[in-house]
A and B are shown apart, each in its own frame.
Chain A
Amino acid sequence: MTALPPSFEDWFAKRGWSIHPHQREMLDRASASALMLIAPTGGGKTLAGFLPTLAELAEAPHQGLHTLYISPLKALATDIRRNLMIPIEEMDLPVRVEDRTGDTKQTAKKRQRADPPHILLTTPESLALMISYEDAPRIFAGLKRVVVDEIHALMEGKRGDQLMLSLGRLETLSPGLRRVGLSATVDDPQALAAQLARAPEPCEIIEADPGPDPDISMLHTEAPPPWAGAGGGYAVREVLAQVKQHKTTLIFHNTRAQAEIFFHKLWLANEDDLPIGIHHGSLSRQVRANVEAAMVAGELRGIVCTGSLDLGIDWGDVDLVIQIGAPKNVKRLVQRIGRANHRYNAPSKALLVPANRFEVVECMAALEAVKAHELDGSPKGPGPLDVLCQHIMITACAGPFDEDALFAEVKTVGAYAGISRAQFDDCLDFVATGGYALRAYDKWKRLLKRPDGLWQLRDPRSALRIRMNIGTIQDADMLKVRMRGRGGRPLGEVEEGFASSLTPGDTFLIGGQVVRYETLREMTVEVTRRADREPRIATYAGAKMPTSAQLAHRILDDLQRPDWPELPRHTRDWLHLQREVSQMPERGRILVETFPHDGRHHACFHTFAGRHAQQTLGLLLTRRMETLGLNPLGFVGTDYATLVWGLDELTDPAPLFEADDLREGLEGWLTSNAVMKRTFRGVASIAGLIEKNLPQARKTGKQATFSSDILYDTLAKYDPEHLILRVTRDEAMRGLVDFARVEEMLERTRGRVDLVRAKRPTPLAAAMLLERDRVPVAGAGRERLAEEEAARLLRESGLAAFGAATVAGV
């Protein structure tokens, strides 16, 4: 137990604060080897995490690093340092605090390694990099505490797995290390705590008073939301009015592209010149820092943002949160709402802005779930092996290692506690030799086993390349964007694929400005301000989260109600019309609607399995329709339904949903699928099969690089049981393929299929017709169309009579 020193009591008193009960409890239980605090935003969580450290350092001087603080965001580390300096300076504590992130200057990083501060604030990636250094044992020798902030967010993905592997390493370097996790409200605190503790040891949990229920509702707009899409453009006026009525408003979006579009529209309508900024992960550091500074200084009335502001940065007096687009996930909505009103024990105020008619229904269901305190979540799978492969490489960078000792260390990490020796050996073999059935790399192995039994890098110089590729964040390949001219201002980044689709003169939105594409120079997109065309929208492969199963069930139940008096007229009428001309989807049945439209036969499957599973269904169903000779041409999947179009009509949909056939189709289809290739790209680059960053700048000549899809195809053909393919399959099934949700849907519908044959698109299906992200089906139908297209091009080029005279001129 750590008592609060008298000087601290005085400091609290002087500020007119009283210590929260959970902050006191954190001090009382400070000696626990693992401790997790669950508190709502504004509950003084971060101070609770640091109080024991400050108290210990105030009582007894400490040489070197005492506490390591890990946050998911660079900005958070900077912000925390600023806040932490207040008590340290005011109480004149002998404590040095520094941050270390990807943005920290090289000289500062070097100095930190030579002479570490008492408290170091960093990110999982910077920590992984630090433990890859040969001097890691010296840096971390006296470490007492590790504080993981926003652990609920980190543990949702591989960053959390990497972090916990790093903590396992730190424990070896500094035995007796105490672990502290700080989390927002979650559905399953026990599961999260088990990830934090050193397995199989227990983790103590402190749950703070959750505070009053939020004040949350849907924003009423004059214009109805559009039928499809994911933006909130139609609500710009009403959102502006809200910004005007409040001190500071955060306007959350689900994707960066949507944030850019909305900000642009907001700016065009902003007649009162309200100071409004934009903040997302693809803007340049400078742009983000400016917005953050203006925010802290209270100069902004509104900020259009994405998940980059999801986490606990103290933005001062936010009194309203607006969520554009349905939240998809109740837990995240609750966490976001907490961003408003940082005063503990005052309700947060939030407004939801559905992006389309269907999202109106989803928002209604989400509001009910918030009121009922029903959070959604799905259990986390075992620790992914690609992250373990990277961890083995990182370990090898730091120096020779013993495989048995490393295996024992990995087993202490909660997510990897169940890993078998065979799985571990597979990973080690992959890192050392590539792990191929064809043992091709005897000469060029990455790791060698020395005569003394320790493993080391064959070529010590490879450590540089490994360090350059540390991390598990899978951004698409991004290109920097800057203003043309000497010392042109950096604006942010766009995806390489988007950049390559631009031709000079095209305009696009970035950081809320319309810019004109000029050239691509040394992998930087150069732009000017001469924007004379309608802007295109930069694409970012932001992972769109699917609507959670719990929320989808609630929606289905809501649709069964006789009326929806709380819904706006437009949506209410739409639902009634659906009931009149067709029928309502039900939780226990599959509704299939068919209709002709635009010269093609359409079939809409209302199965409510979430975006990823609906896409998977699209692939499986079109595959089966192809074998039935229905010539499907493409499909589009949303969170609620899949729409397929093709050359022939579907008249008997029930056999398409035979569970065994669907599973079998999955087996056959899975290997050749684009989703698998995308997943493979991520897994392969985390595991070190593909290196994204090379010591010399990337070449611009495109023939030097080839797509990871080719690697995937080759591996699938010649070495189908390779570790990386196995990891890819597992991950895709849980992630982008989301077959669990397909199974869940089959389970609740049990082959009960209703077919409605309509003469024209039904109200629910009509909205689907306008969805983007249409996926083409590569089949007989499309081959026919491609040939027609080639013939058309030849004809239109005037060279249709292709022959000796036209081409060869001989």
Chain B
Amino acid sequence: MHAPWCTGMGRSMNTIEIPFQGETLCALGSGALFWPARDLLIVSDLHLGKSERIARRRGTMLPPYETRATLERLAADLAATGAGGVLCLGDSFDDLDAAQGLDPEDRAQLVSLIEGRAWHWVEGNHDPGPAGLPGEHHAEMIMGPLTFRHIAEAGAQGELSGHYHPKLGLPGCGGTKPCLLLNAARMILPAYGAYTGGMPATAPELRALIGSPAFAVLTGTKPLLVPYPARAGAGRGRRRF
């Protein structure tokens, strides 16, 4: 069931292969993970419909194009991997009303991506119930050795989660980027949605979950694998560019 593009060990294909719990997952530059053995693309925190929710709640009218931007990225990843299944790791919608309030064109685009694919919606704190779209709804989900849930739980093994929107920068190489965090027991995915901020990967909440030894994969044109910064004075060295 391996998609042929992923078996060639990453580098030239702009992916990073990650052995995890006996399985192999491929990290994409976009922040998505591809699981070739299950033909499954995993993304987290799409926050579709965010601008609509902000307008509804605060009256601020942000450019209403983030759903479009996020879905275009998703469509590109699906085309590149040819994935037959998609798993959204929660906070797929900014809230359940936002799922209803999607622009008709955006909604049609989303439905066309879902059609013909095994589509799993794992719920998040922003979208705690079914959003009225095709696909299966799950509170959490277990597939082989892996558990999928929105918010990481202490002591979990083989867990994939989202929620925190981790971000990290390389010393001397510009600003921070959304990143995947991983250690032997768990992975925390970056936010995939266009209008999403981030939490420093070294924030206490994340450090408590990810500890070390651990790694981060920075998003970008090419994903970059780096060690997760150690606690004291890590990542503070300066280098000229």
Contacts and interface: CB of A to CB of B under 8 A. Distances in A.
Interface of A: 433-434, 436, 438, 440-441, 443-444, 446, 458-459, 462, 465, 500, 503, 633-634, 688-691, 694, 701-707, 710-711, 714-715, 717-719, 722, 774, 776, 778, 782-783, 785-787, 789-790, 793-794, 797, 799, 802-804, 806-810
B191 A703 contact: yes
B66 interface: yes
Nearest to A707: B197
A810 B241 contact: no
Contact of B64 (A434, A691, A794): A434
Interface string B190-231: 010011111110010000000001010000011011110000
Nearest to A781: B241
A682 B201 CA distance: 28
Given A689-B61, A782-B241, A804-B19, A444 B224 contact: no
Given A446-B59, A703-B165, A789-B170, A808 B65 contact: no
Nearest to B172: A789
Given A436-B64, A717-B65, A778-B174, A702 B56 contact: no
A790 B226 contact: yes
A392 to B, nearest CB: 14
B121 to A, nearest CB: 20
A441 B226 contact: no
A660 B203 CA distance: 49
A718 B63 contact: yes
A441 B55 contact: yes
B55 A444 contact: yes
B183 interface: yes
Contact of B63 (A436, A444, A633): A436
Nearest to A431: B61
A714 B184 contact: no
A620 to B, nearest CB: 19
A758 B128 CA distance: 67
A704 B164 CA distance: 10
A440 B8 CA distance: 44
A462 B57 CA distance: 11
A703 B197 contact: yes
Interface residues of B, number: 53
Nearest to A459: B59
B18 interface: yes
B51 interface: yes
A440 B196 CA distance: 20
A465 B59 contact: yes
A634 B241 contact: yes
Contacts of A802: 215, 225
B7 interface: no
B52 interface: yes
13 contacts: A438-B65, A444-B56, A444-B59, A633-B241, A634-B241, A774-B241, A789-B172, A789-B173, A793-B226, A793-B227, A799-B227, A807-B215, A808-B19
Max count, chain B CB within 10 A of own CB: residue among A500, A688, A704, A797: A797
Contact of B241 (A718, A785, A793, A806): A785
A719 B225 contact: no
B174 A807 contact: no
Interface in B22-62: 22, 51-52, 55-56, 58-62
B78 interface: no
Contacts of B222: 783, 787
A719 B65 contact: yes
In order of increasing CB-CB distance, the 8 nearest A-B pairs are A434-B61, A440-B64, A706-B197, A797-B227, A718-B65, A444-B55, A804-B19, A703-B165
B225 A438 contact: no
A810 B65 contact: no
Contacts of A706: 195-198
B182 to A, nearest CB: 7
A500 B55 CA distance: 29
A694 B196 CA distance: 18
B138 interface: no
B147 interface: no
Given A444-B56, A711-B62, A807-B183, A790 B170 contact: yes
Contacts of A810: 19, 21-22, 184
A789 B239 contact: yes
A785 B60 CA distance: 41
Contact of A718 (B18, B68, B184): B68
A806 B197 contact: no
A440 B51 contact: yes
Contacts of B164: 703
B140 interface: no
B3 interface: no
Contacts of B19: 803-804, 807-808, 810
A729 B194 CA distance: 23
B58 A691 contact: yes
A706 B20 CA distance: 31
A711 B54 CA distance: 13
Contact of A808 (B20, B52, B55, B221): B20
B199 A703 contact: yes
A507 to B, nearest CB: 15
Contacts of A443: 56
B199 A702 contact: yes
A747 B164 CA distance: 53
A714 B65 contact: yes
A476 to B, nearest CB: 15
Given A783-B222, A785-B173, 8 more contacts: A438-B65, A703-B191, A704-B197, A706-B197, A717-B65, A719-B63, A787-B224, A790-B226
Contacts of B213: 797, 799, 806-807
A807 B18 CA distance: 9
A78 to B, nearest CB: 35
Contacts of A718: 63, 65, 68-69
A60 B10 CA distance: 87
A688 B49 CA distance: 20
Nearest to A701: B199
Contacts of A809: 184
B63 A714 contact: yes
A442 to B, nearest CB: 10
A660 B111 CA distance: 47
Contacts of A701: 199
A807 B182 contact: yes
Contact of B174 (A465, A702, A776): A776
A807 B184 contact: yes
A465 B60 CA distance: 10
B191 A715 contact: no
A434 B68 CA distance: 17
Contacts of B64: 434, 436, 438, 440-441
A434 B12 CA distance: 43
A462 B215 CA distance: 45
A675 to B, nearest CB: 15
Contacts of A797: 213, 227
B31 to A, nearest CB: 14
Contacts of B191: 703
B1 to A, nearest CB: 20
B199 to A, nearest CB: 5
Contacts of B170: 786, 789-790, 793
Contacts of B58: 465, 691, 694
A705 B47 CA distance: 13
B66 A689 contact: no
A782 B224 CA distance: 13
A583 B196 CA distance: 52
Most buried by B among A441, A503, A790: A790
A632 to B, nearest CB: 11
A153 to B, nearest CB: 32
A444 B55 CA distance: 6
B167 to A, nearest CB: 8
A439 to B, nearest CB: 9
A528 to B, nearest CB: 20
A462 to B, nearest CB: 5
Given A789-B170, A807-B18, A810-B22, A433 B227 contact: no
